Amino acid sequence: MENADTAVWAALMETDPDRKVRRVAALRCGDNPAGTPVAILVPGRPAQPILVAPKALPKRRSLRTAEGRAVLIHALTHIEFNAINLALDAVYRFPGLPEAFYQDWLAVAREEALHFQLLREHLRSLGSDYGALPAHDGLWQMAAETAADPLLRMALVPRVLEARGLDVTPGIQARLAQAGDLRAVEILERIHHDELGHVAVGSRWFRYLCASRGLDPEETFFALVNTHFRGRLQGPYQEEVRLQAGFSPREMAWLKARQNPPADCRF
């Protein structure tokens, strides 16, 4: 299979979480494949957790119990595991871009792996572990739907799906602080800081790709979201943080005009 022996491919298709983290740590710039990538229907992931529709996920429980916090932390741990695969796939999927593109997304993959480790360690302290609860596959589904074009990937994954984390994380931290889980608050502070940088990476390369194709970035973002994003644009937004992550004031005004009220978010 073409590129099957590359380090990025091996890390992406690794199913064991611990080995995947080690493979990511070993990746270096220049490991990115140069050939034509093969289609990936299912990336490397363990047999557990089982994947279900979002509506079938465990119902929220009180965060004042270890069991209730484990449900939340498990969901966040799953998001970070998927984020490792998303970052690796950005490196593997889109050959022929500047070397800095691969440097950026390898750095993102390493940070996502750290986030996964931190959350999994905390989950174990709550008497659970990754895979003990069901999860959903929305993040990778979006990766599959944007695999044909890096412009579409940069628009919809970092700038829509991952940017939502910038909005909701402070509220999650507040709830965990009220429940007395200060370690979880600390971990999410690190994740929120890093994710701002990840969304900024997506914004930077989105604008680079628009410039290379002679496209207006704002109008292109609006068109791609309208055409390809089937979910709901949920507010409220952390506008100041999003501006730091590369959104323009006009993009923020456009998003706010189309936002839905907060929904019962299922991780």
Q: Residue 176 and residue 172: Cα distance in Å, rounded?
A: 6
Q: How confident is the model at residue 28 (pLDDT cuts 50, 70, 90)?
A: confident
pLDDT higher than 80, residue 260: no
* Residue 243 CB contacts under 8 Å (≥ 6 apart), including other chains: 249, 252
pLDDT higher than 50, residue 3: no
pLDDT higher than 50, residue 34: yes
Give the tens place of pLDDT for each residue, 181-224: 999 999 999 999 999 999 999 999 999 999 999 999 999 999 99
Residue scoring higher pLDDT (35 or 63): 63
* DSSP E strand boundaries for the chain: none
pLDDT higher than 60, residue 243: yes
- Which among 64, 65, 56 has a CA at the least distance from the CA of 133? 56
Share of the chain above pLDDT 70, in %: 93
pLDDT higher than 50, residue 265: no
What's the mean pLDDT when you consider all of the chain?
91
30 CB neighbour count, 10 Å cutoff: 11
pLDDT higher than 50, residue 2: no
pLDDT higher than 80, residue 31: no
Across residues 214-243, what is the average pLDDT? 95
Q: How confident is the model at residue 146 (pLDDT cuts 50, 70, 90)?
A: very high
Across residues 147-172, what is the average pLDDT? 97
For residue 152 the two structure tokens come to 């579409």
Domains and CATH numbers, the chain: 7-37+51-258 (1.20.1260)
pLDDT at 156: 97
pLDDT higher than 80, residue 26: yes
pLDDT at 261: 63
For residue 244 the two structure tokens come to 């730091």
Across residues 90-104, what is the average pLDDT? 94
Across residues 16-25, what is the average pLDDT? 97
CA contacts within 13 A on the Cβ side of 1: 10
Q: Residue 255 and residue 237: Cα distance in Å, rounded?
A: 9
pLDDT at 5: 44
Q: How confident is the model at residue 73 (pLDDT cuts 50, 70, 90)?
A: very high
Residue scoring higher pLDDT (123 or 234): 123
Q: How confident is the model at residue 231 (pLDDT cuts 50, 70, 90)?
A: confident
pLDDT higher than 90, residue 170: yes
Across residues 139-160, what is the average pLDDT? 94
